[in-house]
């Protein structure tokens, strides 16, 4: 749970003494799991800062969903529309679990940007990181077979949510196969078969929607011919 504004990436360079002036501008909101905070192409320019829980950022096309990224506590969403002249939402955002967030109007957000140029610099850095993630997603969708896609995504998830436990590495994030399929642009049946193969080969185990990497070295070897750099698997290096 984010309790201090200084923990928010985009506000982290604002002088500590000025933070109490920003707090009254933030309206606390709570959303149940599966609630859609915003729909792509709808008009809206409020900004949301995730305090607890996670949301998926995605787009739909002809009934198919592709997940662009996952936003975690401390992340900001909707700032692009607030900084743009076009307030049509560029993607949909849905709560993956119960979410607590701060909501701020476009007017108040722009006032903060005008007063603290560091916020605009941070917003630019966040945009660069998201572009990097999207570039990698394009590579996943275009050039890799399902096994290589799945191996790379598991390594991505480990570098963002992983915790070692002896020789086993747990991805501390409950994730179902439908979400994995949407993150890779494949069918649920395809990802189910691939994960079953990984389990039979002793690469992973799945318990209560948690993934355990039983042979992290072999999984990384499956990714060795791709262009992924381990240190850049972190979704936000800010």
Give the pLDDT of residue 226.
63
pTM for the structure as a whole: 0.89
* Rounded (10°) CA dihedral 165, 169, 173, 178: -150
Give the pLDDT of residue 230.
63
Whole-number average pLDDT of the chain: 91
Give the pLDDT of residue 237.
64
Give the pLDDT of residue 99.
98
Give the start-to-end residue ranges of the domains of the chain. Answer: 5-140, 144-232
User: pLDDT tens-digit profile of 90-131?
Assistant: 999 999 999 999 999 999 999 999 999 999 999 999 999 899
Give the pLDDT of residue 225.
64
Give the pLDDT of residue 112.
97
What is 144-232's CATH topology? Arc Repressor Mutant, subunit A (1.10.10)
From 2.60.120.10, 2.30.30.100, 3.20.20.190, 3.10.129.10, which CATH number describes the 5-140 domain? 2.60.120.10
Phi, psi of 222 (to 5 degrees): -65, -25
Low-confidence ranges of the chain (pLDDT < 50): none
């Amino acid at each position: 749970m984010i309790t201090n504004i200084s923990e928010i990436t985009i506000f982290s360079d604002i002088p500590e003494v000025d933070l109490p002036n920003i707090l009254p501008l933030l309206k606390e909101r709570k959303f149940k799991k599966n609630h859609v905070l915003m729909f792509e192409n709808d008009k809206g320019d409020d900004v949301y800062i995730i305090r607890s829980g996670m949301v998926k950022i995605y787009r739909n096309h002809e009934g198919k969903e592709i997940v662009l990224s996952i936003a975690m506590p401390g992340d900001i969403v909707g700032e692009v529309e607030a900084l743009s002249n076009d307030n049509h939402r560029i993607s949909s955002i849905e709560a993956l679990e119960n979410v607590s967030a701060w909501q701020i109007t476009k007017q108040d957000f722009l006032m903060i940007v005008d007063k603290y140029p560091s916020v605009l610099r941070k917003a630019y850095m966040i945009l660069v990181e998201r572009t990097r993630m999207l570039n990698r997603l394009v590579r996943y969708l275009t050039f890799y077979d399902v096994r290589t896609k799945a191996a790379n995504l598991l390594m991505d998830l480990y570098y963002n949510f992983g915790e070692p436990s002896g020789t086993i590495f747990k991805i501390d994030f409950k994730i179902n196969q439908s979400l994995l399929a949407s993150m890779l642009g494949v069918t649920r049946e395809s990802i189910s078969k691939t994960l079953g193969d990984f389990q039979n080969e002793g690469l992973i185990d799945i318990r209560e929607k948690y993934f355990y990497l039983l042979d992290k070295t072999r999984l990384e070897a499956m990714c060795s011919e791709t262009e992924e750099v381990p240190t850049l698997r972190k979704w936000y290096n800010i």
